[in-house]
Structure 1
Amino acid sequence: MNTNRTYASSAYRVTLAAGLAALALIFSYIEAIIPFNAGMPGVKLGIANLVILVSLYTLGFRYTFAINLVRILVAGLLFNGFFGALYSLAGGILSLFVMYGLKRTGLFSQTGVSMAGGVAHNTGQLLVAALIVSNIKLFVYFPVLLFSGLISGFFIGILTYLILKRLPKALFPSGKN
């Protein structure tokens, strides 16, 4: 029957999504323990976004949203604390919606989508920070975050392209969301 095949495919996708969520969490942990100091607060490499982009291009939006949410909430509890999780949640959700929208247009490369995601992530975090402290003057820091989001997004996008190019197509089921 065709229903067994659909069930197996769904179970496979859920298992794959769980594995990708675990990998994204590992990358978040690595980023938390690496003494990376760009000389500016809030600037990070964003290596967990590599998993999010690979998932977006292979599993689709719905699974990627779940992976991102699980990673942000668990990493927030383990490494970042409440406010870190809140900032990451705002940035992660805004970033994912921007990347998904740009990907759907077909006008942007994976690197372009990633760069826009990096900028959107930093924008979402800055918006939440400005709301929490009730001070719009925090946006004076936006050019720094814009530049860092573009640079990080560029490198993550190139890595995503290289990974997707080498992953076997049979690894990911067809029928993305």
Structure 2
Amino acid sequence: MNRPEKYIFLALLTSGALILSLIESMIPFPFVAPGAKLGLPNMITLTVIVIFGFKSGMTVAILRTILYLLVAGNVAGFLYSFSGAVLSTIIMAITYKYFNNYFSLIGISLFGALAHNTGQVMTASLMVQNVRIFSYLPIIYLVSLFTGCFVGYATIFIVQNLKKQSQIMKWS
């Protein structure tokens, strides 16, 4: 895959992540934890990390959060999303690069979900200037176990289908 094709594909993936963010914002998650979400855009981020590596994964994650800010206009939501996306992308990329032999994409996604929520709670703590918000982490981590598994399974499905199309080897 040449450079323009790669950029076009990454732009399409970024658009897909933005659309998943918008869809996710419309899905109610009652009785769980306020602000809890499935983490649908992380499927795209993890897929990009697997195919193109850390830099491209981080680019997609950052662009997705900025575009979501422009579409939704929620600055506080942007700060939460941005901090979570950056931290989870870093953790997923490190885990994928160095511990790929020990963890499947499900495990890597779980680490990403935990990191994403940690980043969001850290941001919330700074915004409200209260460390008690960290007591919220156990509940969020419990939710992360389910959402991280879901995202991991979905990412496996996406990557396997890309491999079936014999395109994945050309992209690296």
Q: How many residues align?
A: 169
Q: More deviation in 162-171 or 8-17?
A: 162-171
Q: More deviation in 113-122 or 79-88?
A: 79-88
Aligned pair partner of 2:150 in 139, 146, 155: 155
Distance 1:76 1:38 in 2: 26
Distance 1:88 1:39, change over 3 A: same
Distance 2:93 2:35 in 1: 24
Contiguous gaps of at least 5 residues in structure 1: 1-7
C-alpha contact 1:77 1:85 (8 A) present in aligned 2: no
Distance 1:119 1:9, change over 3 A: same
1:34-70 deviation line (CA, Å, top 9, x unaligned): 2332432021011111111111111211111111111
Distance 2:26 2:12 in 1: 21
Aligned CA RMSD, in angstroms, stands at 1.6
Kindly report which structure 2 residues correspond to 1:4-19, keeping only aligned pairs within 5 A, or say none. 9-19=2-12
2:111 is the counterpart of 1:111: no
Q: CA deviation at 1:119?
A: 0.5
User: What is the SS of the residue equivalent to 2:33?
Assistant: coil
Question: TM (normalized to structure 1)?
Answer: 0.89
Q: More deviation in 98-107 or 162-171?
A: 162-171
C-alpha contact 1:110 1:161 (8 A) present in aligned 2: yes
Question: Which amino acid counterpart does residue 9 of structure 1 have in structure 2?
Answer: N
Contiguous gaps of at least 5 residues in structure 2: none
C-alpha contact 1:119 1:149 (8 A) present in aligned 2: yes
Distance 1:124 1:12 in 2: 33
1:109-154 deviation line (CA, Å, top 9, x unaligned): 1000000000000000000110111110001101011111121001
Aligned pair partner of 1:98 in 82, 85, 91: 91
Question: Which amino acid counterpart does residue 109 of structure 2 have in structure 1?
Answer: S
Query: Partner residue of 2:129?
Result: 134
C-alpha contact 1:13 1:173 (8 A) present in aligned 2: no
Question: Which amino acid counterpart does residue 148 of structure 1 have in structure 2?
Answer: V
Q: CA deviation at 1:80?
A: 5.7
Distance 1:113 1:48, change over 3 A: same
Percent identity over the alignment is 33
Distance 1:54 1:96, change over 3 A: same
2:166 is the counterpart of 1:170: yes
2:32 is the counterpart of 1:32: no
C-alpha contact 1:72 1:89 (8 A) present in aligned 2: yes
Query: Partner residue of 1:3?
Result: none
Larger Rg: 1 or 2? 1
Distance 2:37 2:73 in 1: 13
Q: CA deviation at 1:173?
A: 5.3
Question: Which amino acid counterpart does residue 14 of structure 1 have in structure 2?
Answer: Y
